[in-house]
Amino acid sequence: MLHAMQYFMTKSITILRSSSEHVLDNLARPLQLNYSHNPNVRLINIQVKHEMCSLIRDTYLEVLENLQKALRPKELELWAPNFCCVLILCMCAEMVQTTTDLRIVNALDEKANLTSRDDGIDIYRKLEDLPIANITSMFHLVYRTNKLKDRSKREEGFNPIRDGIDPVKKANLGQDVKDLVTGVRRVMNNSSE
């Protein structure tokens, strides 16, 4: 849901005048005033985006709070949903970064008050340094999947993406998790070059 909402925000929406007139015809009109409606399609678009932005913010908070509660050591059955949640959050962050860059490039073309693309790079770094880095490091800490300072891997950690489906079989996590790991590893192998 979060990914779909974020995807919606990256697209331009179009509300046709006929659609907006139909909506306005069904709204209650003030009785005390002489009221004629003239739909402002651009304003309606802005209002829809504003409401979606509010929904996204609330959904992000809910997802992050639930993920924080779900990230508990020794609960391997939660590895797959936690992994997918972190992956979706990273994809959403990537969409925000792409959209921000596009808007900055457009603003530079329009000679707005932006000085350079460095303004966008600062936004990207803040997004990656704060929420994304924190949630991924928390995930790695819980499942002990990160590399140690001497560049060796933690043998006791649970990382089926790195180690294959054998740990999934040992933990008896089911066919769905095996399929997820196999699919992610396949994508990584196909895209590694």
Dump pLDDT digits (tens) for 57-107. Answer: 898 888 888 888 888 766 788 888 888 888 888 888 888 888 777 777 777
Check residue 74 and give its pLDDT: 67
**pTM over cut 0.85:** no
Domain count across the chain: 1
Mean pLDDT of the chain: 77
Domain-located, residue 9: no
Domain-located, residue 153: yes
Domain-located, residue 44: no
Rounded to an integer, what distance in angstroms lies between the CA atom of residue 113 and that of residue 121?
A: 16
Q: Tokens for 113? A: 């008050």
In terms of Cα–Cα distance, which of 95, 74, 72, 70 is closest to 84? 70
Check residue 11 and give its pLDDT: 74
Rounded to an integer, what distance in angstroms lies between the CA atom of residue 118 and that of residue 126?
A: 12
Check residue 112 and give its pLDDT: 58
Domain-located, residue 178: yes
Domain-located, residue 25: no
Range in 36-50, 90-104, 116-130, 164-178 with the lowest mean pLDDT: 36-50
Residue % of the chain over a pLDDT of 90: 4
Rounded to an integer, what distance in angstroms lies between the CA atom of residue 161 and that of residue 80?
A: 11
In terms of Cα–Cα distance, which of 107, 94, 82 is closest to 160? 82
Residue 124: domain span: 74-182
Domain-located, residue 131: yes
Check residue 115 and give its pLDDT: 59
Dump pLDDT digits (tens) for 107-149. Answer: 776 665 655 777 777 877 887 777 778 888 888 888 877 665 5
Rounded to an integer, what distance in angstroms lies between the CA atom of residue 87 and that of residue 84?
A: 5
Domain-located, residue 24: no
Check residue 179 and give its pLDDT: 92
Question: Which residues sit opposite 106 in a β-bridge?
Answer: none
Check residue 182 and give its pLDDT: 92
Domain-located, residue 62: no
10 band by pLDDT with thresholds 50, 70 and 90: confident
Helix, strand, or coil here: 142?
A: helix
In terms of Cα–Cα distance, which of 137, 17, 172, 142 is closest to 70? 142
